[in-house]
Amino acid sequence: MDIVQIQGHIKEYDWGNSSFIPALLSQDEDGKSKAELWFGTHPNGDAKVVETGQQLSEFLAQDSLHWFGQEHLDCFGDQLPLLLKVLAIDKPLSIQVHPTKAQAEEGWAKEELTRAHQKKELWNYKDPNRKAEVIYALTPITAMCGFRPLKQIIPVLKLLIPNGYAKHFGYLDTVQEDSDKLLAKLFEDLYTMQSEQLVQLVDEYIASLKKHEELPFATGDGAFLESKGIVLSCYAAYPKDPGLFCPFILHVKHLHPGEALYLEPRTLHAYVLGNGIELMSASDNVLRGGLTNKKVDVKELMRILEIKGREVEKAPMLIGRSGRLHVLTPTEEFHLMVLKSGTYHINERRSIELVFLTEGQAVFQSAAEKRTLEKGSCHVIAASLSSYTLEVEGTLFIADVPR
């Protein structure tokens, strides 16, 4: 057996929408929020093998050499280091950051004693692994990520909180100081400000946003939220949250369908609106940074964050020898490919693959087997299969572990 179908795990978080994932899976809507669809072996959402009824992790472990290959076993053992997801976003996710491997190992070790008597939701670290991720837009996506240069932030703060700026942030005009150090101080001051002062600052901020009609709520076609729209859409739920300032401190990125954004560890970010494919390290390490009712550990957040004002570019892509579109990410745990309509002869294989069809259908054929892949289906292909052919009519994604 070289290919099996797996059934994903749906997460019903309140920020999701109720229609996109059911439509993708050709299922009826039940009115509940379907925020994420997981394909992988993560213990919080282990996929199920359709042919056997087993959990995917158990199934792969039974013949790990066949499914993973020796190179993978030497590097990762019999673990799948990636997690493939569909995200269906109706409301902004919490602002968050993920650690590097070294930071995760240090944090995991540091919390060893506290894990015994703290609830899991209060842990800063759920495992000792880094978490990187890439999101590929299936529909228009609005996201926030990475800090804007301070020179872009100061004029906006002076416009929207002139009184608060003069009272709390006049030091930002000290041009001889290192701008990234000042940016870090601004962020920390916002997140450690006394509640009464923060409320006054937010009140001035919201009043100014409503007054300045020249600032757009969304793009002209309504496909993307702009900074003002993100703030005002979050204000009712989080009226005392310093994260309300992040839409003007972080970059707001608009991903058109077919574009992707790579988020390396230490990058402050939040997905705001839209539907996409996310491929990430199989880690659950999330440190919250605002727009949330969950724990925010400011001290640990500041330790993990990279606070540097710089531009954020979308993920580059190139077409490989087989004709597949490669989304380029500097990651050893995962690699994403996109296959539009066409015929693909795939050989020289060295990795286990997750194959997911988001529209149309595809025909998989190897020397031993032929099967039709339907929209919404996900299959796992063994690393030991030397070659196969895919005839795609629609759009298909392949996630593998680069070797």
Active site residues: 288
Token digits of residue 353: 């693959």
| Helices (H), ranges, 250-353 | 298-304
Token digits of residue 40: 């992988």
CA distance 188 to 383: 47
| Helices (H), ranges, 193-337 | 195-211, 227-235, 246-249, 298-304
Largest CA distance in the chain: 73
Q: Which helix (H) or strand (E) holds 164?
A: helix 162-168
Contact 35, 91 (CB under 8 A): no
Token digits of residue 115: 């894990």
Measure the CA angle with vertex 250, ends 178 and 12; round to 5°.
145
Nearest to 228 by CA among 237, 220, 218, 238: 218
Contact 275, 124 (CB under 8 A): no
Contact 99, 125 (CB under 8 A): yes
Within 10 angstroms of residue 321's Cβ, the number of other Cβ atoms is: 9
CA distance 170 to 151: 14
